[in-house]
Chain A
Amino acid sequence: MQTEILDRSPKAELRVFAVWFSVLPGDARERWLPAILADPRVVNYWDASGDVGRWFSRHVTRRPDADFEWDAYFLYPREARWEAVPAPLASWGTTVLASRDELGARALPLLGAPASAPAGPRRD
């Protein structure tokens, strides 16, 4: 994410909300590393309850096999608003790393770069 989008578009008006929470053994707030997403456009949150992952699973992705979403991205265009749910959703994917090419292709047009992929929700 850092290299695919933020470093490639240093002046783009993108806002990133990184919500961190414990999933794996050894996860803890003190193990968060600022250097992973080191960009002033990133706001890092610690979600001690893990509610955000469950909320996105229940209201956004609605995957029957996932109690919570984790290691996932959700991309929204400029006009998006969060009423009942944040919408419209331009793209989402999991894992972030496995989806990085897709994320880059969807995000760069939103940031003003030439479009290389059609916009639209991705459900996988």
Chain B
Amino acid sequence: MDDPKPTPRRGSATPRLGILGGGAMAAAAGYALATLCCLPFAAGALGVALAANGAFLAPYRLYLGGLALLLLAPAFFRSYRGRSSSAGDGAPDARRWRLWLVSLGVAALLLAPLWTPLVTSAVGGRAPSRGGPLQNLGSIEELKSAFNREAGRPRLILLLSPT
């Protein structure tokens, strides 16, 4: 009589939860890095390296955010609706706990533009500021006038967003 016990399959057609969750976290981290490239959230060489990578990823940030969510969807499907997991995914309850923890991490990274300014404000607020205040710009004519008032000096116009 044949042994009915199934043997763990290698190279399952659907990726393991760890791969899906890890991929989602990596994509979300890329999104956060790309979105926060202008913020001084790290100092020195580390800050420059992070910011340079963030600038490189900036054009792809929406794709990275979407990819993170797309990777979570099959992970949830597998965990709640799919067939029993492949070897290494663990017991269902533990698997689901891990998946929810990963999802919280992904959500935190995707929402980083909302909470990191609070952190950097707390840090940056303590730094001495020699710069002037933030003036409301009423129109492009106002910038034009300011630009022409400084004729005789090199001038640099920067177009930036706070995060």
Contacts and interface: CB of A to CB of B under 8 A. Distances in A.
B131 A45 contact: no
A96 B140 CA distance: 21
A118 interface: no
Interface stretch (B70-78, B96-104, B120-128): B120-128
B132 A69 contact: no
Nearest to B37: A97
B127 A38 contact: yes
Contacts of A97: 37-38, 51-52, 54-55
Given A15-B156, A24-B161, A86-B157, A81 B151 contact: yes
Contacts of A40: 130-132
A75 B160 contact: no
A20 to B, nearest CB: 5
Interface of A: 1, 5, 12-29, 31-40, 42-48, 51-53, 55-56, 69-82, 86, 90, 95-98, 107, 110-111
Contacts of B40: 33, 35-36
Given A17-B146, A82-B147, A72 B162 contact: no
A19 B159 contact: yes
Given A73-B156, A78-B152, A86-B157, 5 more contacts: A17-B158, A19-B157, A32-B134, A71-B38, A77-B154
The secondary structure that dominates the B interface is: mixed
A40 B137 CA distance: 18
B28 to A, nearest CB: 14
A18 B160 contact: yes
For the complex of A and B, the 4 pairs showing the least CB-CB separation, nearest first, are A26-B113, A45-B137, A34-B129, A97-B55
Given A28-B162, A52-B143, A17 B132 contact: no
A21 B117 CA distance: 15
Contact of A44 (B38, B134, B139): B134
Contact of A19 (B130, B131, B158): B158
B153 A95 contact: no
B155 A14 contact: yes
A48 B132 contact: no
Q: Which of A20, A33, A44 has the most CB of B within 10 A?
A: A33
